[in-house]
Structure 1
Amino acid sequence: MPSSPIHIDSLDDPRVRHYRKLKDKVLDREGQLFIAEGENVVRRLLASDYQTLSVFVAEPRVAGIADVVPAQVPLYAASPALMEQVIGFDFHTGVIACGRRKPAMSLDQVIAKDKPNLLLVVCGEIANAENLGSLVRLSAGFGADAMVLGERCHDPFWRQSVRVSMGTIFKMPIVRSQNLVADIGRLQREWGVEVAATVLDPAAERIAEARRPRKFAIAFGNEAHGLTGEEIAACDRKVTIPMDLGTDSLNVSIAAGIFLYHFTQVVGLGKA
């Protein structure tokens, strides 16, 4: 049974306090909450196994969303003028929701010991929230089994990341590592995963010649500095995209799209 809309006439209403332009860190402290912006993202949140605390929409959007909001989830509605004061109308286009994070997951919970084929995306220190959201979307789109985020990586549940991920974050298993170098070692020893570091190094293996084993992880580094020397040393091999005309690098999400396409669509499984 769909939820009936509850009219809101002021952002001072305590029922919508989480939508008053709160900082992501504040939301996290108030119960590990996050904001989902836009109808498609909100629909994916509602269809996932994440808890949705409430949905908040502009009144003209009620008819288009009410049928997918369960009766136990409050559906708040306000005038378009009032909704424009919430974060930024251009981002959420009148449909927004508040969800609750799940408990943190470990490598052991995410990766089956007996899984014959495995693709992981490892992120050393992605500093930009939108880049991280794009990496989540790419990882999901190319069929990665999970992502492993380094200890200095941005929070993937900030609203910019959730928005850019287009809600794929609600399906993608994510492990927040406390020691990425140690966890790379665990992947190699305990799961037999080969880890490739993506680098800007003309001496590294060129992507066009690179193959992959059945259990494989691709590691991406910081937007400005790449992977650390210690992280690269922990990996089994180095791969690179050759650059011309003095270009020093690609945006990390563009590079990730090229690497993931190559290793999933061009060479496929077990062609190492």
Structure 2
Amino acid sequence: MQEDSTVQARPETPEGGAAQRLRLDVSYDGTAFSGWAVQPTRRTVAGVLTAALETLTGAGVPLGMTVAGRTDAGVHATGQVCHVDVPGATWAELRDSLLRRLAALMPADARVRAVTPVPPSFDARFSATFRRYEYRVADTGWGPEPLRRHDTLGWVRPLDLERLRAAAAGLVGEHDYAAFCKRKENATTVRAISRLDWRRDPDGVAVAVVQADAFCQAMVRSLVGAMLAAGDGRREVSWPASLLRLRERSSAVTVAPAHGLTLVAVGYPEEAEYARRADATRRLRVPDAIA
């Protein structure tokens, strides 16, 4: 079989030797983080993860950390994915102990759940085929259970599950979601939602499941905000979908609070398709995977 011309060369370390690309599966409670991305004066998930890795690899070693979805302040994750490149010699030394050492160095509200060596064609951001989020809403009279207060929104109005599902159905597919996004210059707001539905968990909490190839900034929480308005009867179930005809953000849509949102999964193709998928995504757009 002819080699795919899009496959990337193996990254180099500062010493010129081959580096090992690692996939890191990451979970975190976003409550005390100012989002994923490193910020000089704020505590972020990437900041604490980079600090832990540099303790093991040496400060100044370029890791090239790339994440699947840059979550906002207060948003949680049980299925976040990022990749880093570490010197080959470092990987050989830490292969059997890296996960345990990271557990000792990371704070209690952020965990690396798995470390997997991957080929250089793997790109945590551009090779991804989907991101899946869940948003939890407690519409009980007493509010969220205390142990779930950090990841569940309390809603004072009763929600009708069938109304929520009807509102969600009109939002599935490939559309311009400009009404639900914070627009960025030269960035498209066209996205393809492959799944959007609601369920009731055994504890009575209503959970929205949203899956798409990528999301623009504030999109998931805006979609949830619009559907909640339909679910509690303040708006018709057709209203959220009617906003798809707009080409700018709708001031009528309330963005749901960050703490109810969790990134639960990121999907990837088979290893042979990593580079092809990344190349296709780059040609299509440069997505801002911020929910």
TM over 0.5: no
> Quick check: which one's strand share is greater?
2
TM-score, normalized by length of structure 2? 0.29
TM-score, normalized by length of structure 1? 0.30
> Quick check: which one's helix share is greater?
1
For CA contacts below 8 A with separation 6 or more, give which structure has more relative contact order: 2
